[in-house]
Amino acid sequence: MGSNIEEALRAKAEAERRFLENDFVGAKMSALKAETLCPGLEGIAQMVLTYGVHSASQIRINGEIDLYAVLGLDPSAEKAKVKKQYKKMSALLHPDKNNTI
């Protein structure tokens, strides 16, 4: 059990390092590994979400950011679902509540 926590902490540190190097996809993958190894690791769920948003923001359609990808929605999603997902993500990613950035 202790080795899983140590491995999760190493993966979390790797995710932070990759994020600082603007490797958002790699950061998300490392954070997901840490979350798999130790789901209760402090701040890991927010870290995965944060890095996921940053990696999704790299997706471009006609030179513009694909905002549906950032929200994790299909472009055919209904307006109410878009609004609900936006509120959910903004609450989770708000700088006052998310110290992973």
DSSP letter for 43, please: T
pTM reported for the whole predicted model: 0.78
Per-residue model confidence as pLDDT tens digits over 31-65: 999 999 999 888 898 899 889 999 988 889 899 99
**Under a CB-based contact definition with an 8 Å cutoff, are residues 55 and 24 in contact?**
yes
pLDDT of residue 89: 87
Taking only Cα atoms into account, the Rg of the chain, rounded to an integer number of angstroms, comes to: 15
pLDDT over 60 at 101, yes or no? no
Neighbours of 49 (CB within 10 A): 19
